[in-house]
Amino acid sequence: MVNDRRPDDMVRITNKELAQAFIDEQIAALREQIGNKKVLLALSGGVDSSVVAAMLIKAVGQQLVCVHVNHGLLRKGEPEQVIEVFRNQMKANLVYVDATDRFLDKLAGVTDPETKRKIIGGEFIEVFAEEARKLDGIEFLAQGTIWPDILESEKGIKAHHNAGGLPEDMKFELVEPVKILFKDEVRIVGECLGLPANMVYRQPFPGPGLGVRCPGAITRDRLEAVREADAILREEFARHGLEGKVWQYFTVVPDFKSTGIRDGKRTFEWPVIIRAVNTQDAMTAEVENIPFDLMQLLVKRITSEVKGVNRVLYDFTPKPSATIEYE
């Protein structure tokens, strides 16, 4: 029997030995709970669901069915990495659903941030439920719930069931193998399970993805500009030793254009806003002091490589008064 709650005297998992002991214990417990039945998991590619997937692959192999829904708002290379790591390397049973058109069509013309979030969340559940209905004999639903989620939901801060909200007739028994762990422990466990470092140590990424970094009504071309600029920012931060050091960094492309000049001709294009912040708990945040040379390199690369962009701005605003995201 596994612990349903984190025991008060549980030793913090800070090294591979402790992580391995936890993994061994969980794998035995998972095998006992699941038997020869099938388990379903919404695999976003985020830290928590990835670690749950890796653990379940070790425990029950092909009895796990992972569903990766690409809502079209993921960062560059993310769906490809999920397929490479889980299907090609770990030999997982992975259903990949490219639902980009479905999401972007529903979001077309929608400007209100909370409405955008609701559409993305609602559509996600719909796509996931549709895939689940196609599968026979699923009895369990795995989730990447972690200990802070439980504490926050008990305090009434947020509801913790990541894949909560499934239709009434879809009743599964929950499997939550990392639910007594803190985030830093989940990362060590993930490393120990053989997941790539850039997957387990990655920065936080909101559920609605790049959708909240494309303020106002999302268009495919502006979304593409956000994605390409974000990829350049991540690449240069990694190259300059800032990956894993800066808490969260990303780009935003606001819905306005300004005049520029390229090859002697007038342009009228979007700006890219760079945001890079440090924080302990995301309640307040300080702006990272990006070296000027790196800033100049980013400006050069983004304005020459990202289509439709002629200007780069740096957001110097801490939280408060600004939030970390733009919507």
CB atoms within 10 A of CB 225: 23
Please name the amino acid found at residue 112.
D
Q: How far is it, in rounded angstroms, from Cα 161 to Cα 128?
A: 14
Query: Is residue 204 at the binding interface for ligand XMP, with CB under 6 A as the rule?
Result: yes
Q: Give me the least distance between CB of 161 and ligand XMP, in Å please.
A: 13
Peptide bond preceding 271 in cis form (omega within 30 of 0): no
Nearest to 26 by CA among 196, 164, 142, 155: 142
Query: Is residue 258 at the binding interface for ligand XMP, with CB under 6 A as the rule?
Result: no
Query: Is residue 323 at the binding interface for ligand XMP, with CB under 6 A as the rule?
Result: yes
Scanning residues 259 to 288, which ones bind ligand XMP (CB under 6 A)?
282
Query: Is residue 207 at the binding interface for ligand XMP, with CB under 6 A as the rule?
Result: yes
Task: Using only the alpha carbons of the chain, give its radius of gyration.
Answer: 21
Cα–Cα separations (whole angstroms), residue 286 to 100, 196, 243, 247, 320: 34, 28, 17, 10, 9
Q: Using the minimum distance from each CB to ligand XMP, give the nearer residue, 81 or 279.
A: 279
Q: Which of 35-43, 136-144, 162-170, 319-327 is the region at the interface with ligand XMP (rule: CB under 6 A)?
A: 319-327
Q: Give me the least distance between CB of 165 and ligand XMP, in Å please.
A: 14
Query: Is residue 325 at the binding interface for ligand XMP, with CB under 6 A as the rule?
Result: yes
CB atoms within 10 A of CB 285: 22
Q: Give me the least distance between CB of 280 and ligand XMP, in Å please.
A: 12
Q: Which of 196, 206, 216, 318 binds ligand XMP (CB under 6 A)?
A: 206
Binding mask 213-252 for ligand XMP (x = CB under 6 A): -----------------------------------x----
Q: If phi over 0 gives left and psi between -120 and 50 gives alpha, with beta otherwise, what is residue 31? A: alpha
Tell the burial category of 81 from Cβ atoms under 10 Å away from its Cβ (0-12, 13-18, 19+). Answer: middle
Size of the site for ligand XMP (CB under 6 A): 11
Residues that bind ligand XMP (CB under 6 A): 117, 204, 206-208, 248, 282, 319, 323-325
